[in-house]
Amino acid sequence: MRRIGIFTKMDMAGGSEFRAVEMANALSHVPGCQGVLMAEKSIPAKLRGAIDPLVEVREGIFTTPDTDALYSVDHVLVINSDSRLFTTEAYWLGESPRHSYKVNLSRIRQMTFLFNFIVSPSIVLPALQRHIRDIRIITANSKFFDEIGKQGRYEAVRHYPRLQLESPIHPRIAVAKSSSDRLRFGMHSLPASSKWNDQFPDLIHRMNERFGNRILWDFMGMPGSLRVKIRDGNVVFRKEFSMPVGDFLAGIDVFVFFLSWKREEPWARSSAEALMSGCPVITTARGGNKNQIIHGNTGFLCKTLDDFVHACGKLVEEASLVQRNT
């Protein structure tokens, strides 16, 4: 039985933490493999309900009595939550603010780092390789993968085995859409400013001026700073996580993933789930979005507000494209 440890700090129930749980779940269903979910401290209650009964759970791995967790597995996969710290030798030797336990790194057989949000922390991995012979890299998109191969600052880790891996998506995403006489545009995300473009009110207003009661907007998680700027009546606001994602996606036709212009989404789980639910995705032409969306086929990649208005308008005027693009 090959035991694979999945490690992240688990201080919150965010994307990286859910990714760790889902990887442990999947590995535990592979014949001859045991997924071991390892938490720096304790696992939040919100995550516990998502853990498969087959997964072995080890909490407090830097405190007694569970300090043998890292040595009990054949391979440690580090999910990138707090990745700048996790890649440092100091973290594993108990010399960081997170914990004081000194890991015997020579007892760890293999270690792989999954970089989801940024890949630059990988440049300090050679310090860890003084202790661990087999270190590997997984990137969440082709941009990160190519950076390692092309940029000089990654020369010391360029020879490390690396691969590109897309994030898992929720297996229970609804595909049957509820009925509506209007085309429904929507987006869900955490209410972080970088997740929601400050030009969203302009997009909504310009579209409503053209199409009025032919369209509807539905948002889950939009921050209050944007909501107060939207005066149009055909907009539904929902609190983040107020309903299951699958149910939310069943109630919209087009996923408008309008991120801050500066944000480079590495690989968007929300876009993948929207596509799976039958929604074309309109999003920014940056980062991993270009890996996920085929422009003019599964959605549209946009560089300006005008591009978003054009893409949304095209789907209203040519309703058959909504089904065709999925």
pLDDT level of residue 31 (50, 70, 90 thresholds): very high
**Residue 65: Cβ-neighbour burial (10 angstroms; 0-12, 13-18, 19+):** exposed
The sheet that has 56-58: what strands, in order across it?
56-58, 33-39, 2-8, 75-79, 110-115, 134-139, 162-164
The C-alpha angle with vertex 188 and arms to 182 and 193, in degrees rounded to 5, equals: 125
User: For the chain, which domains are there?
Assistant: 2-164 (3.40.50), 183-324 (3.40.50.2000)
| Cα gap 286→279, rounded to integer Å | 20
Look at residue 326 in the predicted model and tell me its pLDDT. 47
Of 90-104, 120-134, 166-180, 269-283, the least confident: 166-180
Look at residue 170 in the predicted model and tell me its pLDDT. 61
110: helix, strand or coil: strand
Q: pTM of the prediction?
A: 0.70
* Number of C-beta neighbours around residue 129 at 10 A: 16
How is residue 96 annotated by DSSP?
Answer: B
Q: Which two tokens stand for residue 122?
A: 């990988």
**287 contact partners, CB below 8 Å, separation of at least 6:** 141, 143, 263, 264, 265, 266
Q: Which residue, 311, 303, 202, 196, is CA-closest to 260?
A: 196
Q: Return the percent helix, strand and coil in the chain, to nearest 5.
A: 35, 20, 45
pLDDT of 57 strictly over 60 = yes
pLDDT tens-digit map of 155-202:
999 999 999 886 666 656 667 899 999 999 999 999 988 999 999 999
| Cα gap 286→142, rounded to integer Å | 12
Query: How many residues comprise the chain?
Result: 326
| Cα gap 138→117, rounded to integer Å | 12
